[in-house]
Amino acid sequence: LWQQFGVTEFQDKEAFQKEFIRHVETTLARSMYNCDDLAAYLAASQAIRDRLIVAWNKTQQKHTTKDQKRVYYLSLEFLMGRAMDNAMLNAGVKDITKTGVDDLGFKIEDLLEQEPDAALGNGGLGRLAACFVDSIASTNYPGWGYGLRYQYGIFKQRIVDGYQVESPDYWLAFSNPWEIPRYEIAIDVMFYGYTRKYTNDQGKTVSIWEGGEQVQAIAYDVPVPGYDTETTNNLRLWASKPTREFDFEKFNSGDYESSVRESQKAETISAVLYPNDNFYSGKELRLKQQYFWVAASLNDIVRRFKKTHRPWSDFSDQIAIQLNDTHPTIAIVELQRILVDMEGLEWDAAWEIVTSTFGYTNHTVLPEALEKWPVPLFGNLLPRHLEIIYNINLFFLQKVEKMFPKDRDMLARVSIIEESSPQQVRMAYLAIIGSHKVNGVAELHSDLIKTTIFKDFVAIYGTDKFMNVTNGITPRRWLHQANPKLSELIASKVGSYSFLKDLTLLKKVEPFAKDPEFIEKWADIKKFNKARLAALIKKNNGIDVSVDALFDVQVKRIHEYKRQQMNIFSVIHRYLTIKAMSAEEKKDVTPRVCIFGGKSAPGYYMAKTIIKLINSVSEVVNKDADIGDLLKVVFIADYNVSKAEIICPASDISQHISTAGTEASGTSNMKFVLNGGLILGTVDGANIEITREIGEENIFLFGHLAESVDDLRHQRRFNDVPINPDLQKVIDAIEGGMFGDKDIYGSLIYSVTGNRDYYLVSDDFQSYLDAQKLVDKDFKDKTTWVSRCITAVANMGFFSSDRAINEYAESIWNIEPVAK
Ligand code: 26W
């Protein structure tokens, strides 16, 4: 009977409008007579959401029927950005919706602007997870994401007096049409308590965990539509809520208020995203978040598996779980606990299931980013898990001792427990030991983890366990949505938009790199995109920039290893150079707009100082009449996914200039090249593979190689290596007060002078300036420049996240796409 009714799925403009009006009047309880852009955005998204839910239901039914192996992607961050444009595109209703709202007197662009970013991530790792769920759906794999539904995403950044000021991002203020609350999916999660040993029916001594504090995890489902496919997968985010039974003892003793207050504390677990990128700080609440999310997700996964009535030995034939960095590593311990303590499996049988289920992706080699939990803190919060870790470690070390008899150093080096005071649980080691595959995110990075931080584990497990999957980006958002005009121009040569599903088809535009007509169209689009960014800069910064100038962009989290300080030093050098020029000499200067953007972790003093310096330089340079349009410096506040969609298509040059060996991959490098910009970069991360694909004549590389970094650091530490003279001039200018109170910059200057300079700013400075000079020179030849951009784009096919997902599916997850 129910099938007769069906769910409304609009097929044309009129049907969309009917749905739109229905949502305005009933869902929102508003009238069409006072429907503003926000209400219109909400109504349009409701109509699109209905469509997604229909597709979502079909997909989930199909997955249940087919009962194929699935992958679960566990990530503490999903930096999704806005959903509406992507939902329209992937559901194939962009034109219908656009003309539908246009006719009703709205502009689709204005509606899209109403949506707050879902900014549930810090940077690269979180955005990668978002690209991956898009690709898993678009390539028809059965796969879910599991994460946390933070009430506050990454903080909003304002610049006040040149300094970063943070404010909370309460993104759910106007309700979120892209999530479906599932109040019926409520899972109890326990913390604290103690373990108790007892003898069970079979006479076995077992340990159980009891007496702890309980909170509930409530599921919120976010449909993830694939592009040009029926598949709509699920991203399940957990929110913490008090359990229904609160402390009745307190209640009965009359302390009602404090009883309610206590139970409200449960909500804080999923309240806020930790804003540190590549920096570990051992806060108990963070460990609570990790366990809360992992326990709820595994409970859900195991429950779904048990419904199939398969034997436990089928578990890893049905389920693959990917750990996005070490943040979900307790999942390894939790699954072992479920199998042994709750389901009664033998240790070895359980461990076999666990290790064949998990894969671990490492995203950083920076020592300060590696998670290590103090044993006392860990044991207090998760007493049974600590016991299990001790057992895992014991069996592992016994195996190592057999392989390397009497090598005590080896045992100490690879032990999950670091013998410091207090002792620490090394999460990366636990992740390696509990997974069947470990991967890095670009070739150089994957080599580096094998030869440095995880070297001993390669000796123990052999090289097969360690592999590389180079990152990628989704061409739907990062080409078609961000740069519709370029996408259209490419389609005119490819013959269709098929390159959005198979990015290697971009190769078809390569011959047109020499076609004057195509070059001109390409250049016009770049100019249009630069004008779009110039308008944003005018609106946000009040600065006028010329679209004829070279747009030089560095946008990413502010971090010493990413070397924004080196960039701003070179901008100062440029300023000093132009200042010293005669009018005649100035005629030769390539005008440049130096654009910066990115957030600093709130507690990262040095990064905050770098932001202040950029803004101070901007103040001085932009108002200097001697300089005019030859140099402008802009800091774009609150860099986020939706700003990136405007910024990436507008660059002529983007900078990816980390000290060699420090940036695991980088993914914005891919976004900029895919949008027709060239790179100024170091021989680091995915820059290396980008060079290989697009040709070294189409990239500006500079700086020392990763293999020299240790020696250079050593040299500077123990010998008096003179500072680069051009850098010295820049430092003199800062110290002379050219950019305000020099004392502000004391520690920043100290970090690149004397016996320090850990990130080799001085060592790379000359080669950086030389590369910059070449950029200035090459940019003058517009035709050749554009031709190089076209060639570069034509060769970017490899960097689609669809390719990356296919590699994971084949070599780690062993899953197949769902058949039609
Ligand atoms: C525990 C604190 C913490 C938080 C986040 C440590 C580490 C992280 C992330 C792993 C940092 C991160 O985002 N890494 C980036 O991952 C991207 C996706 O693989 C890479 O492209 C970047 O190079 C890498 O810095």
Tens of pLDDT, residue by residue over 613-669, are 999 999 999 999 999 999 999 999 999 999 999 999 999 999 999 999 999 999 999
Provide the 3-class DSSP secondary structure of residue 666.
Answer: coil
Calculate ∠ Cα 812-815-817, nearest 5°: 135
Grade residue 8 by pLDDT with cuts at 50, 70 and 90: low
Atom 6 of ligand 1, residue of closest alpha carbon:
278
Mean pLDDT of 76-102: 97
7, pLDDT greater than 60:
no
Atom of ligand 1 at shortest range from CA of 361: 19
292, pLDDT greater than 90:
yes
Share of the chain above pLDDT 70, in %: 98
pLDDT at 428: 98
812, pLDDT greater than 70:
yes
Whole-number Å distance between alpha carbons of 620 and 615: 9
Atom of ligand 1 at shortest range from CA of 445: 23
E-strand spans in 620-728?
A: 631-636, 653-656, 678-682, 700-702
Mean pLDDT of 333-355: 98
Whole-number Å distance between alpha carbons of 551 and 548: 9
455: annotated active-site residue: no
pLDDT at 247: 60
Calculate ∠ Cα 301-304-307, nearest 5°: 150
Q: Is the CB of 277 under 6 A from ligand 1?
A: yes
Grade residue 409 by pLDDT with cuts at 50, 70 and 90: very high
pLDDT at 202: 85
Handedness of CA 573, 574, 577, 578 (dihedral sign): negative
**CATH fold group of domain 67-82+117-470+807-813:** Rossmann fold (3.40.50)
Mutual angle of helices 124-138 and 801-808, in 10-degree steps: 80
The CATH number of the structural domain formed by 499-799 is 3.40.50.2000
Whole-number Å distance between alpha carbons of 129 and 115: 20
Residue-wise pLDDT tens digits, 662-700: 999 999 999 999 999 999 999 999 999 999 999 999 999
Return all residues near 450 (Cβ < 8 A) that are at least 6 apart: 458, 463, 466
Q: How far is residue 193 from each of residues 1, 248, 384, measured CA to CA in Å?
A: 51, 18, 9
Q: Is the CB of 663 under 6 A from ligand 1?
A: yes
Q: How far is residue 537 from each of residues 530, 533, 547, 640, measured CA to CA in Å?
A: 10, 6, 12, 15
Which residue is catalytic, options 562, 563, 599, 716? 562
pLDDT at 261: 83
Task: Note whether 559 and 279 are within 8 A (CB).
Answer: no
Choose between 236 and 207: higher pLDDT: 236
pLDDT at 205: 87
Instruction: Enumerate long-range contacts of 540-547, CB under 8 Å, 24 or more apart.
Output: 540/636, 540/637, 541/634, 541/635, 541/636, 543/618, 543/622, 543/632, 543/634, 545/593, 545/632, 545/634, 546/591, 546/593, 546/629
Listed ranges 194-203, 214-223, 248-257; the one with the highest mean pLDDT: 214-223
Grade residue 414 by pLDDT with cuts at 50, 70 and 90: very high
Q: How far is residue 684 from each of residues 424, 533, 705, 770, measured CA to CA in Å?
A: 31, 28, 8, 18
Mean of the per-residue pLDDT values of the chain: 97
556: annotated active-site residue: yes
Whether ipTM > 0.90 holds is yes
Q: How far is residue 111 from each of residues 36, 40, 678, 801, measured CA to CA in Å?
A: 9, 7, 32, 28
Omega into 422 within 30° of 0, i.e. cis? yes
Task: Note whether 282 and 369 are within 8 A (CB).
Answer: no
562: annotated active-site residue: yes
pLDDT at 98: 98
466, pLDDT greater than 70:
yes
Alpha helices in 442-582 (DSSP H): 443-451, 455-461, 475, 484-494, 516-541, 564-579
Give the mutation target among 78, 277, 562, 668 for probing the ligand 1 site: most ligand atoms within 8 A of CB: 277
DSSP 152: B
Mean pLDDT of 38-48: 98
pLDDT at 317: 98
Atom 8 of ligand 1, residue of closest alpha carbon:
278
Task: Note whether 40 and 97 are within 8 A (CB).
Answer: no
Share of the chain above pLDDT 90, in %: 94
Same CATH topology for 67-82+117-470+807-813 and 499-799? Answer: yes
Task: Note whether 52 and 225 are within 8 A (CB).
Answer: yes
Whole-number Å distance between alpha carbons of 478 and 128: 12
Which residue is catalytic, options 70, 363, 445, 476? 363
The b/e string for 200-217 (b: 16+ C-beta within 10 A; e otherwise) is: eeeeeeebebeeebbbbb
Q: Is the CB of 361 under 6 A from ligand 1?
A: no
Calculate ∠ Cα 428-429-430, nearest 5°: 90
Grade residue 716 by pLDDT with cuts at 50, 70 and 90: very high
**Cβ atoms within 10 A of the Cβ of 26, count?**
11
Mutual angle of helices 330-337 and 383-403, in 10-degree steps: 100
Handedness of CA 687, 689, 693, 696 (dihedral sign): positive
312, pLDDT greater than 70:
yes
Mean pLDDT of 582-605: 98
Give the mutation target among 74, 77, 325 for probing the ligand 1 site: most ligand atoms within 8 A of CB: 325
Residue-wise pLDDT tens digits, 495-534: 999 999 999 999 999 999 999 999 999 999 999 999 999 9
Q: Computed over its alpha carbons, how large is the radius of gyration of the chain?
A: 28
Q: Is the CB of 363 under 6 A from ligand 1?
A: yes
Give the mutation target among 278, 370, 426 for probing the ligand 1 site: most ligand atoms within 8 A of CB: 278
For the chain, which residues make up each domain, given as ranges?
Answer: 1-66+83-115, 67-82+117-470+807-813, 499-799
pLDDT at 127: 98
Q: Nearest-CA neighbor of 151 among 267, 271, 274? A: 271
Task: Note whether 579 and 627 are within 8 A (CB).
Answer: yes
- Length, in residues, of the chain: 820
Alpha helices in 359-414 (DSSP H): 375-381, 383-403, 408-414
E-strand spans in 273-353?
A: 319-324
Grade residue 5 by pLDDT with cuts at 50, 70 and 90: low
Return the structure tokens found at 174: 């106007």
299, pLDDT greater than 80:
yes
Mean pLDDT of 270-297: 97
279, pLDDT greater than 80:
yes
Return the structure tokens found at 61: 């039914």
Q: Is the CB of 644 under 6 A from ligand 1?
A: no
Return the structure tokens found at 367: 């020592």
pTM: predicted TM-score of the whole model, two decimal places: 0.98
Mean pLDDT of 691-711: 98
Return the structure tokens found at 211: 């007496």
